[in-house]
Amino acid sequence: AAGVIQSPRHLIKEKRETATLKCYPISRHDTVYWYQQGPGQDPQFLISFYEKMQSDKGSIPDRFSAQQFSDYHSELNMSSLELGDSALYFCASSYDRSEQYFGPGTRLTVT
**Residue 31 interacts with other proteins (CB under 8 A)?**
yes
**Residue 51 interacts with other proteins (CB under 8 A)?**
no
Smallest CA-to-CA distance from 79 within 62, 59, 57 is with 62
Single residue of 58, 69, 77, 111 touching other proteins by CB under 8 A? 58
What's phi and psi for 32, nearest 5 deg? Answer: -125, 135
Contact residues toward other proteins (CB under 8 A) are 31, 33, 35, 41-45, 48, 50, 56, 58, 88, 90, 92, 94, 97-105, 107
